[in-house]
Amino acid sequence: MVFILGVNFPERNLLKKSLETFFGIGNNSSGRLMSRFNIHPTCRVGELANKQVLDLTAVLSDMKIENDLRREVLNDIKRMKETGTYRGRRHALGLPVRGQRTRTQIKTPVKLNRMERRL
Amino acid sequence: MASSWCWNCLSRLRPTPRALLPPSATPRISSAPFHSTAVHYAQPAKKKGNSLTVVKHRQSTSLRRKKKKVADRGGRPPAVGERKALRKRIVLSNPNALEIEGMLELSPETMVDSRLRGTVLGLPVPMIDQLRAVQAFKPKQGWSIFRRPGTVLRRDTIEMGRLFEHISGEGDEAQKGKVVKKIVTGMKGSGKTVHLLQAMAMGFLKKWAVVTIPDARELVSGDTAYAAIEGSNPLQYVQPSATSALLTRTVEANRELLASLKVSQKHPALKMLKPSSTLEDLAKLGFNDPAVSWRVFQALWTELTATAPAEGLEKDFKPRPPMLVAVDGLAHWMTESAYRSAEYKPIHAHDLAFVHHFLSLLKEGDSLKNGGLLLYATSFSNNPNPTALKIALDRLAARQAGISASSPEYPQLPAYSDADPRVLELFQPAEKAVSPLELQTLGGLTRDEARGFMEYFARSGLLREIINDQWVSEKWSLSGGGIIGELEKFGRRVRATASVSK
């Protein structure tokens, strides 16, 4: 098991997939992070040298990810609701925000856009 | 219900008063039905509206299917690496196949004997471990249908055998220590990889140092670790674990040779080396420690290409043997690799130090100081097909045919092509210099060779046919002019079932 930013990852897991478990890190960010430290794309967590783990953790801790990022997104939505913008209203009503049609296929906004929004 | 007419007397009956009839639970039917069964015996009507007809508000109307349940077969899933091991397994012997009596072995005498052309020569049994070590056999090559591995002696093989003799210094003294650089191409199934295998086998027979890269793709597909070399310009990258693997392969295959040669140069970077250590000891330093493997590889290379000892190390110096360098799947080195630089730009394959080392051997000059053979084969089964390589090889063929670069027949880049200039430059000869690079195109077998090859199948008990000239001629034509991969399909196909099914 290897600790990266306080999370324990099994050694067999792919590093790229492991990095992408953090909220706010996707395909692009994880690829850039790995190439920055010259880690090959199919690297397993167990293959990392100690220094590389520390480097990764140092960079990750400077990034806005996980709860910080969640809080920021929620604050943005809250601000829109409070200022009464159209987008804020759509968020509050549980309807799609970005001009999609509402005749069909709005399961996701119905599920997500509510007063107490969770990410 | 009875008719209200009495048919005997044709008089009208008086209807029975309603009140006298017994009360019935079912409602009276005033019209006659098609059958006389009472309604209350009927099956209860089905409920109307199944899931397809009644659609709820905002419900999708597309077809909904029940998901099939995956049957739990029990047992554990295969262990880690088990399936890959099965996929990469190489079986070289089949006890069910017949043993061929009087089958000759590949040896320094038989490999140049033109009387044996077209016969299948077995690979010597002690050498098989060495060939396995350099990964000369590939999993899908069909070695597993014969009693023992063997290869057909074709024209190209005999020519190569003679080349080995010349470079080793037997016969023509002038050619001793020559470096021959070849790019092996040919159609799919024309035997390029087996040609490399034959070269390796000959290398082992002649006691050469054999260095191989069995799959060029592995170095650029982003599957091994890489690290930038500090201070190199343009920035180059080493691949420590791939280098360790190469050292392991080389030592396992050339153990006898490397153990007999002593260190003859000074290697200030490798402190743990003693003057009395052999080249095997030197290579072993890089086995387990990927951090030094690249330096160890460079040291080993300088040792193998050394022509004279350094000062103070003359005592145990033995002349180094010629070298064989074989690379399979060259096209993968002619594109950008799957690695990325720190700025997230793709790294060109030529910027990988490992690849660069082996490609620079192709350039002019005696890259192998003690002579030797470079065989770089292209592949058709796994080919990224870069435009630049195709044009470069066409140009090479044109130059070989005597077409000058200024001639209109000389292959030109198509308009708006994005051919890689670095690749074109690699194959471009310097001004007025004769390029040492040769293009060897493997074609089909001749009819005689094809006959020998098919007889091998028949004598192994795989092919139940009377092999005569007519039959061989037919198969030779069907295989596109003796393409050996296609001939093999005719040999191993079971004919009996095919004729029954007609």
- Quote the CA–CA distance of B119 and B152 in Å, as a whole number: 6
Q: Which residue has the tokens 């003859």?
A: B264
A41 touches chain B (CB under 8 A): yes
Of B58, B223, B342, the CB nearest to A38: B342
Distances (CA, A) of B2 to A112, B18, B22, B26: 71, 14, 15, 18
CATH architecture of A2-63: Orthogonal Bundle (1.10)
Average pLDDT over residues B309-321: 82
Question: What is the chain A residue with the closest CA to B340?
Answer: A35
Kindly list the residues from chain A whose CB atom is less than 8 angstroms away from the CB atom of residue B60. Answer: 104
Say what the pTM is: 0.81
Question: What is the chain B residue with the closest CA to A32?
Answer: B344
The first and second tokens of residue B448, run together, are 């005689």
Extents of the domains making up chain A: 2-63, 67-112
Kind plus residue range of the DSSP H or E element containing B477: helix B469-478
Distances (CA, A) of B371 to B162, B175, B320: 15, 9, 10
**Band of residue B502 on the pLDDT scale cut at 50, 70, 90:** very low
Average of per-residue pLDDT values in chain B: 85
CATH architecture of A67-112: Irregular (4.10)
**Band of residue B6 on the pLDDT scale cut at 50, 70, 90:** low
Q: Which residues contact B121 (CB under 8 A, 6 or more apart)?
A: B103, B104, B105, B106, B110, B111, B150, B151, B152, B153
- Quote the CA–CA distance of A90 and B131 in Å, as a whole number: 69
Does A31 contact B344 at a Cβ distance shorter than 8 Å?
A: yes
In tens, the pLDDT along A10-55 reads: 988 999 999 999 999 999 999 999 999 999 999 999 989 899 999 9
For residue B124, pLDDT over 90 is answered with: yes
For residue B131, pLDDT over 90 is answered with: yes
Does B344 contact A32 at a Cβ distance shorter than 8 Å?
A: yes
Show which of residues 63-92 on chain A sit within 8 Å of chain B, judged by CB atoms.
Answer: none
Q: Which range in B34-43, B87-96, B305-314 is most confidently predicted, on average pLDDT?
A: B87-96
Does A104 contact B80 at a Cβ distance shorter than 8 Å?
A: no
**Lowest mean pLDDT across A60-69, B13-22, B54-63, B150-159:** B13-22
B58 touches chain A (CB under 8 A): yes
Residue B54: per-residue pLDDT = 57
Of A32, A36, A42, the CB nearest to B222: A42
Q: Which residues contact B252 (CB under 8 A, 6 or more apart)?
A: B130, B133
A61 touches chain B (CB under 8 A): no
In tens, the pLDDT along B149-181 reads: 999 999 999 999 999 999 988 777 777 788 899
- Angle ∠(B6,B10,B16) on CA atoms, nearest 5: 35
Does B222 contact A35 at a Cβ distance shorter than 8 Å?
A: no
Does B339 contact A43 at a Cβ distance shorter than 8 Å?
A: no
Mutate to test the interface with A, among B344, B351, B352 (most CBs of A within 10 A): B344
Q: Counting one residue from A and one from B, how many pairs have CB atoms under 8 Å apart?
A: 33
Show which of residues 323-352 on chain B sit within 8 Å of chain A, judged by CB atoms.
Answer: 338-342, 344
- Quote the CA–CA distance of A93 and B95 in Å, as a whole number: 75
Question: What is the chain B residue with the closest CA to A52?
Answer: B227
Tell which wins on pLDDT, B460 or B20.
Answer: B460
Phi then psi for residue B199, to 5 deg, are -60, -45
Beta carbons of A23 and A65 less than 8 angstroms apart: yes
**DSSP letter for each residue of B8-55:** TTTEEPPPPPGGGSPP-SSPPP-S--SS---GGGSPPPPPS--TTT--
Of A12, A32, A40, the CB nearest to B222: A40
Picking from B472, B255, B217, the residue whose alpha carbon sits closest to that of residue B334 is B217
Residue B486: per-residue pLDDT = 92
Average pLDDT over residues B219-223: 92
The first and second tokens of residue B161, run together, are 């055998």
Residue B432: per-residue pLDDT = 60
Does A104 contact B58 at a Cβ distance shorter than 8 Å?
A: yes
B129 touches chain A (CB under 8 A): no
Phi then psi for residue B209, to 5 deg, are -90, 125
Kindly list the residues from chain A whose CB atom is less than 8 angstroms away from the CB atom of residue B344. Answer: 31-32, 35-36
B105 bridge partner residues: B122
For residue B37, pLDDT over 70 is answered with: no
Does A40 contact B226 at a Cβ distance shorter than 8 Å?
A: yes
**Band of residue B365 on the pLDDT scale cut at 50, 70, 90:** confident
Query: Is A33 buried (19+), middle (13-18) or exposed (0-12) by CB count in 10 A?
Result: buried
Kindly list the residues from chain A whose CB atom is less than 8 angstroms away from the CB atom of residue B226. Answer: 38, 40
Question: What is the chain B residue with the closest CA to A106?
Answer: B58
Show which of residues 291-310 on chain B sit within 8 Å of chain A, judged by CB atoms.
Answer: none
Residue B475: per-residue pLDDT = 93
Does A36 contact B225 at a Cβ distance shorter than 8 Å?
A: no
**Band of residue B501 on the pLDDT scale cut at 50, 70, 90:** very low
- Quote the CA–CA distance of B473 and B92 in Å, as a whole number: 30
Kindly list the residues from chain B whose CB atom is less than 8 angstroms away from the CB atom of residue A37. Answer: 342
Q: Which residues of B430-453 are buried (b: 16+ CB within 10 A; e: fewer)?
A: eeeeebbbebbebbbbbbebbbbb
| C-alpha dihedral sign at A39, B243, B202, B397 | positive
- Quote the CA–CA distance of A51 and A16 in Å, as a whole number: 17
Query: Is B67 buried (19+), middle (13-18) or exposed (0-12) by CB count in 10 A?
Result: exposed
Q: Which range in B53-67, B426-440, B475-489 is most confidently predicted, on average pLDDT?
A: B475-489
Q: Please give the single-letter amino acid code of residue B267.
A: H
Kind plus residue range of the DSSP H or E element containing B437: strand B437-442
- Quote the CA–CA distance of B371 and A69 in Å, as a whole number: 63
- Quote the CA–CA distance of A74 and A83 in Å, as a whole number: 14
Query: Is B185 buried (19+), middle (13-18) or exposed (0-12) by CB count in 10 A?
Result: buried
Kindly list the residues from chain A whose CB atom is less than 8 angstroms away from the CB atom of residue B346. Answer: none
- Quote the CA–CA distance of B110 and B122 in Å, as a whole number: 11
Residue B85: per-residue pLDDT = 92
Mutate to test the interface with A, among B221, B226, B340, B352 (most CBs of A within 10 A): B340
For residue B414, pLDDT over 70 is answered with: yes
Rounded to the nearest angstrom, the minimum Cα separation between B138 and chain A is 24
Show which of residues 360-379 on chain B sit within 8 Å of chain A, judged by CB atoms.
Answer: none
Does B223 contact A12 at a Cβ distance shorter than 8 Å?
A: no
B222 touches chain A (CB under 8 A): yes
Mutate to test the interface with B, among A32, A40, A48, A107 (most CBs of B within 10 A): A40
- Quote the CA–CA distance of B182 and B355 in Å, as a whole number: 17
Rounded to the nearest angstrom, the minimum Cα separation between B377 and chain A is 27
Does A38 contact B228 at a Cβ distance shorter than 8 Å?
A: yes
Mutate to test the interface with B, among A11, A30, A35 (most CBs of B within 10 A): A35
Does B223 contact A40 at a Cβ distance shorter than 8 Å?
A: yes
Q: Long-range pairs for B54-60 at CB < 8 Å and ≥24 separation?
A: B58/A104, B60/A104
